[in-house]
Amino acid sequence: MSARTGPDPSGASRDVAFRPNWTARAGWALLALYALYAATQLGFEPERLASGLGHGRQFLARMFPPNFSRWELIQSGIAESLQIAVIATVIGIAVALPIGFLAARNLMPPWVTWPMRALIALCRSFHPIIVAILFVKAIGFGALAGVMALIVASVGFIAKLFAEAIEEISLKQVEAVRATGAGFLSTLIMGVQPQVLPRFIGFATYQLDSNLRNSTMVGIVGGGGIGATLFTAYQRFDYDVVLAILIVIVTLIMVAEIVSGWARRVFQ
């Protein structure tokens, strides 16, 4: 940021055209200092980075070309991840809608909204992987633990956004619909839903994508899906298989994002 400072040569001080923004500069300086400090704390040493690059080259060499030979294994793993993602999203939405509805402060009294919001915050606080670990320890290995973990994650995300969407609707439009003699359901359908649906479709598809991403990972901790296959290959140093699996995962996620985009356009 440029600045022209100070008094002119005759000694009299003049108004400055661009005052240097000391707060901002101090802020940037602090950030830079912090970055350096954190880097040292975390082991960013030049030798490590250099040797890392060497390892990196070896590593990449072992990854190429990708090895698709164990295709059936990969296929069943991906299928299971898809199943986990779909089920978790559908059930998650079904559970999240009433919770989000009850958490809306413009519709519900505080003694209802506070516990609901606390529940939502609890669901969101922990990474799905951690939740998956807990479920694995509690109910055993397999897809069920993965599904349950992702349901918790979905509820946290969707209920929160759904409550926010409801809090932003215009109650006047709802009042007008009620004044025509419409019952509770009809008022919801014609007064509330049109105001909420487009945003809902947006975050529902986002959550589906997110669940798909996570469902490929929960296998690492025992929650089913292709994560387990990936981790096994990793631990056996079969990096070419790892690359193959990664390619499949990335492709799947990209396809899912495209399909979500279509769904959004069709339903909004």
Partner 1 sequence: MAGSALRETAAGPGADVRADDPRALVIRGLTKEYRPGQPVLKGIDLVVPGTGLTAIIGPSGTGKSTLIRCINRLVQPTSGEILFRGKDLAQLSGRSLRRARRRIGMVFQEYNLVERLTVMENLLCGRLGYVPAWRAWLRRFPEADIARAFELLDAVGLSGFATRRADALSGGQRQRVGIARAIMQEPEIVLADEPTSSLDPKSSVEIMEILSRLAAERGVPVVVNIHNVALAQRFAARIVGMSGGHVVYDGPPDRLSERDLRGIYGGENWLE
Partner 2 sequence: MSAAASAAPTPRRWQRFTPLKRLARLAFTLFAVAAFVASLRTIEVIPEFLYDAPDQLADLFGRMWPMDLGYVGPTLRALVETLHIATLGTLIAIGIAVPIGLLAARNVTSSLALNLLAKFVFVTSRSVNSLVWALLFVAVFGPGPLAGTLAIALRSVGFTGKLFAEALEEANRGSIEALQAAGAGRLSTLLLGYWPQVKPAFWSIALFRWDINIRESAVLGLVGAGGIGVALDTALNLLYWDQVAVVLAAIFGVVILAEIVVTQLRSRTL
12 binds, among partner 1, partner 2, none (CB under 5 to 8 A by kind): none
Distance separating the N- and C-terminal Cα atoms of the chain: 44
Among partner 2, partner 1, none, what does residue 33 contact (CB within 5–8 Å per kind)? none
Partner from partner 2, partner 1, none contacting 172, C-beta within 5 to 8 A by type: partner 1
Site size for partner 2, by CB under 8 A?
63
The 10 Å Cβ neighbour count of residue 31 is 10
Unique residue bearing structure tokens 């901790």? 221
Q: Which of 133, 151, 152, 155 binds partner 2 (CB under 8 A)?
A: 133
Q: Rule CB under 8 A: is residue 80 a binding residue for partner 2?
A: yes
Kindly report the CA angle at 73 between 72 and 79, in degrees rounded to 5? 85
What is the per-residue DSSP string for 9-51? Answer: TTS-----SS---HHHHHHHHHHHHHHHHHHHHTT--HHHHHH
Nearer to partner 2 by C-beta: 25 or 48? Answer: 48
Q: Are the beta carbons of 266 and 257 closer than 8 angstroms?
A: no
CB nearer partner 2, residue 16 or residue 250: 250
- Contact between 97 and partner 2 by CB under 8 A: the answer reads no
Examine residue 127 and tell whether it contacts partner 2 (CB under 8 A). Answer: yes
Which stretch, 4-12, 39-47, 98-106, 180-188, contacts partner 2 (CB under 8 A)? 39-47
Q: Which does 180 bind (CB under 5 to 8 A by kind): partner 2, partner 1, none?
A: partner 1
By CB under 8 A, tell whether 200 contacts partner 2: no
Write out the two tokens for 108.
């519900």
Dist CA 177 CA 49 (whole Å): 65
Whether the CB-CB separation of 252 and 226 falls below 8 Å is answered with no
Q: C-beta of 256: minimal distance to partner 2 in Å?
A: 10
Contact with partner 1 (CB under 8 A): which of 12, 17, 110, 172?
172
Listed ranges 70-78, 170-178, 223-231, 242-250: which one lies at the site for partner 1 (CB under 8 A): 170-178
Tell me the H-state helices in the chain: 22-41, 46-63, 71-102, 110-125, 128-139, 143-167, 171-179, 184-187, 193-215, 226-235, 239-267
C-beta separation of 159 from 103 below 8 A: yes
Least gap, CB of 41 to partner 2 (angstroms): 5
**CA pair distance 74, 78, nearest whole angstrom:** 6
73 touches partner 2 (CB under 8 A): no
177 to 236, contacts with partner 1 by CB under 8 A?
Answer: 177-183, 185-187, 189-191, 194-195, 198
Residues 221, 136 contacting (CB under 8 angstroms): yes
Task: Determine the 3-state secondary structure of 132 from DSSP.
Answer: helix
Q: Is the peptide bond before 9 cis (omega within 30 degrees of 0)?
A: no
Which residues are near partner 2 by CB under 8 A?
A: 1, 31, 34-35, 38-39, 41-44, 48-49, 52, 55-56, 59, 79-80, 82-84, 86-87, 90, 121, 125-127, 129-130, 133-134, 137-140, 142-144, 147-148, 213-214, 216-217, 220-221, 224, 230-231, 234, 239, 242, 246, 249-250, 253-254, 257, 262-263, 266-267
Q: Interface with partner 1 by CB under 8 A: which residues?
A: 170, 172-173, 175-183, 185-187, 189-191, 194-195, 198
